[in-house]
Every structure is written in structure tokens, then in C-alpha cells.
Amino acid sequence: MSKIILITGSNTGIGLEVVKALAGASKPYTILMGGRSPQKVQNAISTVQTKLPSTASTFVPITVDIESDKSIEQAFAEVQSKYGKVDVLINNAGAQFDQEHATSTLSTREIWNKTWNVNTTGTHILTSTFAPLLLQSIDPRLLFLTSGTSTLAGTENTAIPVNKVPPKGWPKTGFNVPAYRSSKTGLNMVMREWHRWLKEDGVKVFALSPGYLATGLGGDPEVSRTFGAQDPAVAGPFVRSVVEGERDGDVGLVLTREGVQAW
């Protein structure tokens, strides 16, 4: 039986690149493609099948909104009924709302609450809900997609735009994503807690930091490219390598494509 892999936020960006990478493997996977919009997920499935017509993997749309407990519970019931287990849970769904402060779309409190609700709280609740299905696997893996901006040690590197020190005075301007990066730092601790909780159950837990990529997260991907963002396709093989056991020596850590990210 093929491994069951559930990926949240799978219809675009890094999530879709992970699906493509897994679909390109020689071994078959049953890929449960989670997303808020059934139509967008179905469109993504069609895209992958067109790009990789000879894939041995199977794609199954799963409607799930990690901001909704009801949606998470419904997704769990569907997966439990059909498969009875999950071999790999990839918590990829995430969002950035800091830029909406400039447009006054959301208040500062709304930006922070919504950011943490998606990136940290919602991810934790989905993991809590699906944990019993992970424990039914003989080789369970739990992955969290974090960010290079989440490292505390890395904040000393002022060559990175998010770490540049602005001139004195108020208001401050420049590239500033405090809600997003703090939520991902929080997610790193969530990963560590799950590593601790599930260690005796044999679940291999990781956080993955794929690098600064030109996705739609927080705005126009082409603008991100002008700041040095790479193609999101590089994330696919990286995540697949962790799924397939190539980084098992670094379990419980934040992995980058080159090594281990400092806390």
C-alpha cells in the first residue's frame, strides 16, 4: 500500500511544488491535497497530472481550512474513514498579513491575531486532530514549514532586509514582517513540543526552512524576485528528501536545504 501523505495549502506555492516533487518519485504515494477551495485544489491536481502524466501517485482533494475547527474535524473524519492512517503530515499552509497594515485593511491587532491563528495556532490544532492517525503508521513523519526569518540567532545578520536597522525617528519604514516572523519562531517551538510529545511513539518530527522563495505569500512573487527570492520549485525536492528519510539524522531540528538552521 502506498504511503498516505497529507499536505495542507497544497494548491499553490511551496505546497504545490512539494506535490510535484512527490509525484515525480519512482515510488507511488497517495497524496491528500488539502486546501480551502475545492475548485483550486482540483485545478492543482489537473496541473500536476498534465505535467506528470506517467506519475504512479494518486491525488485526493481534501477540503480543510486550518482557521476552522469544524473544517479540520470534517477533514479528519474523511481521512480516518477512507484510510485509517496518515504516514506523513506536512503542515505547509501559512500566510503573511503584515503588509496589510500599510493599506489599513486590518488593524495591528487583527494582523497579529490572524497571523498567529493561521501559522501557529491553526497548525497546532490540525496536528492535534490528526495525531491519532499518524500513530497508526509504521513510519510516521510530521513536518512543519517554517521560515528563514524565524531564527533568533539570524537576526544579527543585518545584510538581510528584515534585519536592517532603520534610521531613528517615527514611523519606521522598510521591509518589516514582525507578526509573520514571530509566528514562525513560535512554530519552531510547536515543532519542538511535538518532537517531545511523540518521540516515544516513533514519530519523526522536523521543521523545514526552504529559503526565501518567490511565492504569493505576502504579495507579488515578481517583486520578491527583485529582492533575491528563488524559484519555489527548489522546495519540492528538499521536502521530498525529508519525507523519504534522507535527513533522519537531524530529527527534531529546523532543516535548511544546506544543513540545520540556528535557533
Distance CA 37, CA 10 (A): 11
Task: Using the predicted structure, report yes or no on whether residue 111 has a pLDDT greater than 90.
Answer: yes
Which amino acid would we find at residue 115? T
Percentage of residues in the chain with pLDDT exceeding 90? Answer: 76
pLDDT category, 214, cuts 50, 70, 90? very low
Q: pLDDT tens digit string along 43-74?
A: 999 999 999 999 999 999 999 999 999 999 99
Place of cell 506517467: 54
Question: Which one-letter DSSP state was computed for residue 167?
Answer: P
pLDDT tens digits, one per residue of 77-100: 999 999 999 999 999 999 989 888
Considering the entire predicted model, what is its pTM?
Answer: 0.93
- pLDDT for the residue 161: 81
Catalytic residue among 180, 183, 209, 212: 180
* 82 among known catalytic residues: no
184 catalytic residue (yes or no)? yes
Residue 201 pLDDT greater than 70, yes or no = yes
Q: Dig out the grid coordinates for 253 from the structure.
A: 531540528
Mean pLDDT of 129-141: 98
* Cis status, amide bond into 61, omega within 30 of 0: no
**105 is written with which cell numbers?**
485593511
Rounded to 10°, the helix 13-23/235-243 angle is 60
| SS3 of the chain: helix, strand, coil, percent, to 5 | 50, 15, 40
Q: What DSSP string describes 180-235?
A: HHHHHHHHHHHHHHHHHHHGGGT-EEEEE---SB-SSTTS-HHHHHHTTPBPGGGH
Residue 127 or 230, more confident? 127
Strand-pairing partners, residue 128, are none
The full set of domains in the chain, from first to last, is: 3-255 (3.40.50.720)
Q: Which is the catalytic residue, given 10, 57, 137, 147?
A: 147
Residue type, 130: F
Catalytic annotation, pick one of 3, 20, 184, 204: 184
Interval 197-218 mean pLDDT: 83
**Averaged pLDDT of the chain:** 91
147 classed as catalytic: yes
Mean pLDDT for 108-135 is 97
Q: How far apart are CA 84 and CA 109, in angstroms?
A: 39
